[in-house]
């Protein structure tokens, strides 16, 4: 494989209220992402960072229970344009977050190029809230709903089209903290979810096999959106919304390796790495290891 990988950093921290996740792209680069991927005989290009507004130091304005709506929407729109160009050029976009709100930008840029884009949402959360259902007003808890076309128009209409994806093309893995409104949406839309309960009961090999088979039949490309808080906070402590009882290092590597073997992944993002909350860059190192597995280290 001599695939071109285009790395895009997104120093976004306005989708939630703990500062530091804007340093995620730096922490991931410092953890050696470029060298690691160059060893895989991939053609790596680092496109640098998307320009993101800084938070106001005094108060963060909320519109319709959406914190920093304007800045988050603008940041994701810039990202969407960049991702669109990368996919257009035939390269694989690898997006480094930043908080998870940026997924609506990534998906806007990728989904344009597919009839039926699949999404694997690897996360402790569903990120299926709207301004109405959100307990926090944090947009990083909303990008999956937004990509389904549900939410504020400033968010759902990024790149001028909606929805980006269909509910039957989504698989959520690792969920263990779902809000009431999110549960309702999951039922209503029939979204596939492997909660930690299922992972414990079935084991990761079966969860991934089912996920891959499910998506294989119905999609023409699959985007991986990996929130580091999907992992257990003992192993990935540098995240803003940790939830106990998460996926292990081993399970996550196996998941990435099985995705690499499936050859179905067309784009990916790794989000919510917050070096301020981390222990010696452990979480960024974890992210780099997982990217290596996803992009084929185990296939060498
Ligand atoms: N991407 C994330 N870490 N999302 C966490 C969301 C937490 C909670 N469900 C909320 O909406 O506020
Ligand atoms: Mn999460
Ligand atoms: Mn998330």
For residue 257, tell me if it sits in a domain.
Answer: yes
The total number of structural domains in the chain stands at 1
- CA–centroid distance, 42 to ligand 3, in Å, is 28
Pocket lining: 71 vs ligand 1, CB cutoff 6 Å: no
Provide DSSP, 21-84.
Answer: GGGHHHHHHHTTHHHHHHTTT-EEEEEEE---PPPPSS---EETTEETHHHHHHHHHHHHHHHH
Interface predicted TM-score (ipTM) of this complex, two decimals: 0.96
Q: What phi, psi does 170 have (nearest 5°)?
A: -110, 140
Three-state DSSP class for residue 253: helix
Dihedral (CA of 134, 200, 257, 244) sign = positive
> Is beta strand 62-63 parallel, antiparallel or unpaired with respect to 192-195?
unpaired
Mean pLDDT of all residues belonging to the chain? 97
pLDDT at 2 over 90: no
- C-alpha–C-alpha distance, residues 85 and 156, integer Å: 20
For residue 300, tell me if it sits in a domain.
Answer: no
Predicted structure pTM score: 0.98
For residue 76, tell me if it sits in a domain.
Answer: yes
For residue 29, tell me if it sits in a domain.
Answer: yes
The pLDDT of 127-135, averaged and rounded, is 98
Best mutation site among 14, 99, 136 for ligand 1, i.e. most ligand atoms within 8 A of its Cβ?
136
Do 230 and 122 form a contact (C-beta atoms < 8 A)? yes
For residue 107, tell me if it sits in a domain.
Answer: yes
Question: Quick one: pLDDT band at residue 58, thresholds 50, 70, 90?
Answer: low
Length, in residues, of the chain: 300
CB-based burial of residue 209 (10 Å sphere; 0-12 exposed, 13-18 middle, 19+ buried)?
middle
46 labelled ligand-binding: no
pLDDT in tens, 62-106: 899 999 999 999 999 999 999 999 999 999 999 999 999 999 999
Q: Note the pLDDT of residue 1.
A: 46
152 is catalytic: no
| Residue 280 Ramachandran class (φ > 0 left, ψ -120 to 50 alpha, else beta) | left
For residue 241, tell me if it sits in a domain.
Answer: yes
100 labelled ligand-binding: yes
22 is catalytic: no
Do 2 and 92 form a contact (C-beta atoms < 8 A)? no
Residue ranges making up the domain that contains 57: 4-294
Q: Note the pLDDT of residue 55.
A: 78
- C-alpha–C-alpha distance, residues 191 and 201, integer Å: 19
- C-alpha–C-alpha distance, residues 164 and 110, integer Å: 9
For residue 148, tell me if it sits in a domain.
Answer: yes
pLDDT in tens, 204-251: 999 999 999 999 999 999 999 999 999 999 999 999 999 999 999 999
**CATH code (residue 46):** 3.40.800.10
For residue 120, tell me if it sits in a domain.
Answer: yes
Pocket lining: 125 vs ligand 1, CB cutoff 6 Å: yes
């Amino acid at each position: 494989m001599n695939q071109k990988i285009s790395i895009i950093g997104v120093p976004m921290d306005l989708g939630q209220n703990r500062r530091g996740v804007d340093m995620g792209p730096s922490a991931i680069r410092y953890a050696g992402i470029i060298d690691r991927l160059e060893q895989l005989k991939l053609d790596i290009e680092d496109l640098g960072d998307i320009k993101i507004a800084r938070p106001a130091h005094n108060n963060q304005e909320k519109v319709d229970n959406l914190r920093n709506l304007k800045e988050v929407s603008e940041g994701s729109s810039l990202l969407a344009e960049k991702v669109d160009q990368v996919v257009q050029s035939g390269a694989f976009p690898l997006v480094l977050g930043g908080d998870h709100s940026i997924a609506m930008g990534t998906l806007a840029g990728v989904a344009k190029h597919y009839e039926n884009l699949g999404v694997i949402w690897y996360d402790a959360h569903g990120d299926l809230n709207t301004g109405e259902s959100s307990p926090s007003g944090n947009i990083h808890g909303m990008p999956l709903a937004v990509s389904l076309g549900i939410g504020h128009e400033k968010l759902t209409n990024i790149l001028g089209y909606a929805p980006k994806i269909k509910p039957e093309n989504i698989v959520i893995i690792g969920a263990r903290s779902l809000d009431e409104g999110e549960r309702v949406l999951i039922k209503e839309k029939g979204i596939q979810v492997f909660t930690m309960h299922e992972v414990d009961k079935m084991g990761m090999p079966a969860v991934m096999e089912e996920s891959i088979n499910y998506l294989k039949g119905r999609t023409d490309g699959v985007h991986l959106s990996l929130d580091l808080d999907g992992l257990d906070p003992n192993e990935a402590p540098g995240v803003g919304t940790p939830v106990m009882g998460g996926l292990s290092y081993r399970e996550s590597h196996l998941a990435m390796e099985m995705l690499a073997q499936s050859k179905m992944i067309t784009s990916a993002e790794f989000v919510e790495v917050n070096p301020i909350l981390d222990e010696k860059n452990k979480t960024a190192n974890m992210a780099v290891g997982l990217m290596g597995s996803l992009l084929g280290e185990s296939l060498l």
